[in-house]
Structure 1
Amino acid sequence: MREMEIKDGSYEEYAQVAIKLHYEKDERERNLLVDSIKDKEIRRVLDIGCGAGQDMLPFIEKKDAFCVGIDVGEELGRIGNSLADKTGFRERIVFTRSMGEDLPFADESFDVVLCRIAITLMNNQKAIAEVSRILRPGGVFLLKTHSPQFYFGMIKRRFSSLSPRQLAYPIISLAGGTFQLVTGKYPAIEFWKGREVFQTKGTLERELRKHSMEIRRLMPDSNSEAPSYYIVKN
């Protein structure tokens, strides 16, 4: 699986790569998320960890939805606004700087929530609770995360570098995910802030049940390293 890395704190570079990859997809791939819920009325969409906002564009194109993107990187909103201007959707999309663990929105105010990998960098228990709070009953949560296999694969891919720093990152991520798997608690110490933590389907289902949500199916873009889930709030 291809790794998208942020080098030297360059969120702008990361966002530009994400936009490039989005437009390299064929039409079916670009519309995969919105087409998965074509049977529902979609008025408001939230993307947590939105990057440049490219994943929200099909919801505007096909559903005329109003979209909100949040991210911790201030520069990503600027890039997102530029992309929205280029596509002519500036009136249907807004960006705000916020954290997924503390969403600045009213209860039951969104029909769809997207979170594509970003949850690995959050306190996932708090983030899931917040998604449930702001999602309307019957609303859909399209979540893509990293499994343990992703980090084992990262170790394998990076082993030839013989760089302790390169190898330490996936090992630390595995340690954090294992702690949550065994204890049922997110590793809350400051050391883990901003570091990735994996989730298994079992740990995810456990958290979702606490907040009246359930996995209905795997999405077509799911794979062993980055499972992708169609989740519904009951």
Structure 2
Amino acid sequence: MSILTRRIALALALSTTAVGLARAQDAAPAGLQPEDQIHPTPDPAPKLIPELPTIPWRHDRVSFGGWTSIKTAPLPKDRAGIWVLDFAYKPLRIQTVEIPGKGRRAVHYLYYKVVNRTGTPRPFLPQFIMVNERGQKFEDAVIPEAIPIIKNREDPTIALRGAVDVMGTIPPSTKQGVDDAVFGVAVWERWDTSSDRYSIYVRGLSDGYKEITPPDGGKPIVRYKTLKIDYIRRGDERNISEKEIEPGDPPYDWVYW
């Protein structure tokens, strides 16, 4: 089961439990007459995913600190009317983390921020998958011990969300010159140390999709609008250093994947 599937299953389980408890509390005890029953004001329906708190961020700050901002203008291959969240990220980095039961491990991480400029709340259920030149896939991992270490390295003043607590609804950003942003980090404990080229595919930034009919005329395959970030690593597999990781040319592209 993928990390994304587990996150959605957890949210559904929590919401179902909340509904069951509310119904149990509202049920009338046996033997009471209608006039004896208490009718409290019903609670609002539970949300499947919470609204994420945002952090004010001056729009021009993204030009400092090594950020790469993604262009979100519609592409000719997009369906009309889709929405896309604004996304910016810092260079891919490596950090040593003490993981319980495993000891000190070097992890890759991608520090990013997301802003909703679509004018209405949007769900954010991201999925980050690293793919090497041989097609091997490595999903981002849940490593809570890494979050405070990465936060202190990048910006101790900004609340940082990991693989689990970044799931939610992002409210629209409406202020002039200021972004209401959510900051997150994707972390990989596993990767291929022998790879010279790899990409990170980011799903969950858009509701765009395409149905592609296979050559044999079988059932259509659904492909989702996905951000593809490319990297080149120059160095051997024994002495891994983040200084050897360079952006591809071009550094990113929108694909249906």
What TM-score, normalized by structure 1, do the two folds share? 0.31
Larger relative contact order (CA 8 Å, sep ≥ 6): 2
Greater fraction strand: 2
Greater fraction helix: 1
| Rg comparison, structure with higher value | 2
